[in-house]
Amino acid sequence: MKNKNVPIGVFDSGVGGLTVVREIMEQLPGEAILYFGDTARVPYGNKSEETVVRYSSQIIKFLLSKGAKTIVIACNTASAVALEKMKKEFEVPIIGVVEPGAKAAAKVTRNGRIGVIGTEATIRSGIYNEFLQKTNPHVTVYGKACPLFVPLAEEGWVEEDEITEQVARRYLAELSEQDIDTLVLGCTHYPLLRSVIQKVVGDKVQLVNPAVETARELKYLLEERRLLNECEKAGETYAVAGGTLLPQHEFFVSDRAEKFKQFAASILPSAILRPESVGVEKFE
Ligand code: DGL
């Protein structure tokens, strides 16, 4: 049986998965996070299923080699195309962000008309539609890929930005015409554009961030498997409190750790960010 004081492994194609980490830290402050951002191979959203599956498998092997007790696939694209295969390949509990996001949206909608925005791969997979229909067969789902949102978020053009707003208007016009009352932010970067997206779709549309529900499901999963860390707060560095070694957050990337740190500091407190570069290709 796994030691419950070891970290939770979380990964994404890059920095966007930190929006999920932020939620996990909020809801599970005693858990240490072991994060991997695949900054050398981002974006996943325009890659084939086969490639994303291979990358996901390498990363999970890396996270397990560092002692992770459970895995959160914080990337919507990898959750959409690789989660089921990863669950078959590894014994450790693994959750993605799509199912929790779909469940949250199905709860929120009043008129049953739900929009989903994400990368090309996520929208093409039709997986949000599948989970939404499973939760409530009466909903109608409208998907739209918004690939330019990722570089805009990484550029920091997030709040009150004219260009981002124009791009959002162009992408979201057809969803608005469908009278949706709920919109799933089905990509890790999109919560960073939340205020622009909300402005464009209007206040009557409820935005759903799958990260919130994912952190909640992670908590249930850890409780159920008796893997919840009893520590009150994970440490920012290895430290001993009351004779116990506090777990520590650790961040790894596959390229450009400094650039990652700069962007990451807009999502998490910079004091905890000391990213290291590692290659994961050897974990075949
Ligand atoms: N992390 C990806 C997702 O949530 C967005 C960036 C990418 O395309 O890799 O789908």
* Backbone dihedral region for residue 207 (phi beyond 0: left; psi -120 to 50: alpha; all else: beta): beta
Cα 222 to ligand 1 centre (Å) = 25
User: Do the Cβ atoms of 204 and 15 come closer than 8 Å?
Assistant: no
pLDDT band, very low/low/confident/very high, at 22 (cuts 50, 70, 90) = very high
The DSSP result for 250-274, as a single string, is EEEESS-HHHHHHHHTTTS-GGG--
Per-residue pLDDT for 238 more than 60?
Answer: no
Q: Is the pLDDT of residue 3 over 60?
A: yes
- Classify burial at 105, counting beta carbons within 10 Å of its beta carbon; exposed 0-12, middle 13-18, buried 19 or more: buried
Mean pLDDT of 218-225: 95
pLDDT higher than 90, residue 240: no
How confident is residue 154, by pLDDT bands cut at 50, 70 and 90? confident
pLDDT of residue 164: 96
Q: Where does 42-112 show beta strands of DSSP type E?
A: 70-73, 94-95
Residue to mutate, 12, 117, 260, ligand 1, most ligand atoms under 8 Å from C-beta: 12
Instruction: Express each pLDDT in 79-133 by its tens digit.
Output: 999 999 999 999 999 999 999 999 999 999 999 999 999 999 999 999 999 999 9
Residue 184 confidence (pLDDT): 98
Whether 188 lines ligand 1, by a CB cut-off of 6 Å, is yes
Decide whether any atom of ligand 1 lies within 6 Å of the 119 Cβ: yes
Which helix (DSSP H) or strand (DSSP E) does residue 182 occupy? strand 182-186
Which has more confidence, 242 or 102? 102
How far does the centroid of ligand 1 lie from the alpha carbon of residue 22, in Å? 17
Evaluate if residue 249 carries a pLDDT over 60.
yes
CA of 121, closest atom in ligand 1:
10
56 Cβ inside 6 Å of ligand 1: no
Q: pTM value?
A: 0.93
- Does the Cβ of 122 fall within 6 Å of ligand 1? yes
Query: 132: which 2 tokens?
Result: 């939404």
What pLDDT score does 230 carry?
A: 75
3-state secondary structure 102-148: HHHHHHHCCCCEEEEEECHHHHHHCHHHHHHHHHCCCCEEEEEECCC
Q: Which residues are catalytic?
A: 75, 187
pLDDT of residue 119: 95
Among 80, 70, 71, which Cα is nearest to 11's?
71
> Which residues have C-beta within 8 Å of that of residue 250, sequence separation ≥ 6?
7, 32, 33, 34, 35, 66, 276
Q: What percent of the chain has pLDDT over 70?
A: 94
pLDDT category, 167, cuts 50, 70, 90? very high
What is the CA(188)–ligand 1 centre distance, in A? 6
Centroid of ligand 1 to alpha carbon of 253 (angstroms): 15
Give whole-number Cα distances, 199 to 99, 121, 159, 168, 206, in Å.
Answer: 26, 26, 10, 10, 11
Question: Is 187 touching ligand 1 by the criterion CB < 6 Å?
Answer: yes
Question: d(Cα 89, Cα 73) in Å, to the nearest integer?
Answer: 14
Mean per-residue pLDDT for 218-236? 83
Cα pseudo-dihedral 173, 175, 179, 181, rounded to 10: -120
Contact assessment for residue 254 and residue 261, using Cβ atoms and an 8 Å cutoff: no
User: Closest ligand 1 atom, CA of 16?
Assistant: 1
Q: How far is the CA of 120 from the centre of ligand 1 (A)?
A: 9
Instruction: Give residue 100's pLDDT.
Output: 96
Give the atom of ligand 1 at the shortest distance from the alpha carbon of 188.
Answer: 4
What's the rounded Cα separation, in Å, for the pair 186 and 224? 27
pLDDT at position 270? 80
Q: Quick check: 248 pLDDT over 90?
A: no
Residue 128 Cβ < 6 Å to ligand 1: no
Question: Is the per-residue pLDDT at 58 higher than 90?
Answer: yes
pLDDT for res 266: 87
Secondary structure (3-state) at 64: helix
Q: What is the mean pLDDT of the chain?
A: 92
For atom 6 of ligand 1, the residue with the nearest CA is 43
Please tell me the predicted confidence (pLDDT) of residue 1: 55
3-class DSSP assignment, residue 13: coil
pLDDT at 236 over 70: no
Which pLDDT score, from 0 to 100, does residue 272 have? 79
* Ligand 1 within 6 A of CB of 214: no
**Phi, psi angle pair for 31, to nearest 5°:** -90, 135
Angstrom distance (rounded) from CA 238 to CA 164: 40
Please give the Cα distance from 251 to 194 (Å, whole number).
Answer: 25
